[in-house]
Amino acid sequence: MAQLNWGMIGGGEGSQIGPAHRLGALADGHFRLVAGALDHRPEQGRAYAQRLGVVASRAYGDWTEMLAGERGRDDRPDLVTVATPNSTHFEITKAFLEAGFNVLCEKPMTLTVEEGEEIVRVAEKTGKICAVNYCYSAYPMVRQARAMVQAGDLGRIRLVVTSFSHGHHGDATDADNPRVRWRYDPAMAGVSGQFADCGIHALHMASFICNDEVTTLSADFASTIPSRQLEDDAMVNFRMGKGTVGRLWTSSVAIGRQHGFDIQVFGETGGFRWASEQPNQLIYTPLGGRTQIMEKGEAGLCEDARRLSRVAIAHPEGFPLAVANIYCDLADAIRGEPRPGLPRAAAGLRSMAAVHAAVASARAAGQWVDARPPMFR
């Protein structure tokens, strides 16, 4: 099968998520990097793209140059990844979709609900794929958890409890560090800090595993470091369409917690737990039965969990390979085999609606509010 052409915007040298995209996109040979505008500093971006093997004429200084240079080519990218800071996602994603490119956008997909709805509409109108990098949902054992819920192994889901709480912004004396400060600056981050940064991964995961959507929520936000304009800790209670009760805690000041993303799902006939720090294991307890550790790579897992595992049982498989699984699903989708697990623009929009609902709720002393985007009510 022919390799797909890939372009990248952002994710330059020294960026946090850039290497995971490059390792992920290239891991299985589905994609090759042919064009890039990798850095907000044009010269650094051009030089780095060339060091990564992009020819000089396709190593661009900024994304508008890349759009102009690539849109008319026969060998233009089959997919463009947007891995820039949040405030630029909408403009870049919309422009590339409108020019007929498939796009993988980093989360949060947009800053506002209106922008999210616009992206969903443009993707529908152009027929192009707009995916959002909810990469944790692509771990094999998360796909297994979703398949078990879909198969009814846990019965009706009563309760979901999830957290994405780390302590890496817990040092008040480091609050002015430029890599930390923008996340709590409304001009750069939008209306929400920690919830929009990490909480939406947990909220998406709850929807993804339960195969259900968040309908209402009540939020309590706190800036535990008082100089921060946006929250660094949030507790969000939510409800889903099929009646599931949800509890979500997200924090960046939980010193001692490293990555801190886990989820527990409790149904009528069983429960399970998955944690990103032990991604190859799903801890499953059937009602009245023994607790079992299900391992990535073992016999009897669902088709998705088998398809998205590369190395044999007991060998570790990490974060870039979860991103690689997003690229596998994208490659299949671009080649005409849609994969239901691939998070699309609708998921990005639902997150934005939840972020804005949480902000409104937190400002109204935790009042319950509708968390659905107007388009999906």
Q: How far is the CB of 359 from ligand NAI (least distance, A)?
A: 17
Binding part of the chain for ligand NAI, among 22-30, 68-76, 82-90, 156-164 by CB under 6 A, reads 82-90
What character string, x for contact with ligand NAI (CB under 6 A) and - otherwise, covers 125-164? --------x-x-----------------------------
Binding part of the chain for ligand NAI, among 78-86, 112-120, 204-212, 351-359 by CB under 6 A, reads 78-86
Give the rounded distance of the alpha carbon of 23 from its chain centre.
16
Q: What DSSP letter does each residue of 72-121 carry, written as one string? A: T-TT--SEEEEES-GGGHHHHHHHHHHTT-EEEEPSS--SSHHHHHHHHH
Q: How far is the CB of 14 from ligand NAI (least distance, A)?
A: 7
Give the position of tokens 């937190």.
362
Is there binding between residue 178 and ligand NAI (CB under 6 A)?
no
Question: How deeply is 300 buried, as exposed, middle or buried, from its count of CB atoms within 10 A (0-12, 13-18, 19+)?
Answer: exposed
Binding-site member from 40, 121, 247, 306 for ligand NAI (CB under 6 A)? 40
Binding-site member from 23, 27, 50, 88 for ligand NAI (CB under 6 A)? 88
Question: How deeply is 367 buried, as exposed, middle or buried, from its count of CB atoms within 10 A (0-12, 13-18, 19+)?
Answer: exposed
Is there binding between residue 57 and ligand NAI (CB under 6 A)?
no
Is there binding between residue 221 and ligand NAI (CB under 6 A)?
no
Distance between CA atoms of 373 and 353, rounded to whole angstroms?
5
Query: Hey, what are 338's tokens?
Result: 């849609």
Is there binding between residue 37 and ligand NAI (CB under 6 A)?
yes
Distance between CA atoms of 376 and 174, rounded to whole angstroms?
41
Q: How far is the CB of 73 from ligand NAI (least distance, A)?
A: 20
Binding-site member from 62, 114, 220, 295 for ligand NAI (CB under 6 A)? 62
Grouping H, G, I as helix, E, B as strand and the rest as coil, residue 337 is coil
Is there binding between residue 16 and ligand NAI (CB under 6 A)?
yes
Binding part of the chain for ligand NAI, among 84-92, 161-169, 253-261, 291-299 by CB under 6 A, reads 84-92
Find out whether 177 and 334 touch, Cβ atoms under 8 Å: no
Site of interaction with ligand NAI (CB under 6 A): 9-12, 15-18, 37-40, 62-63, 83-86, 88, 106-107, 133, 135
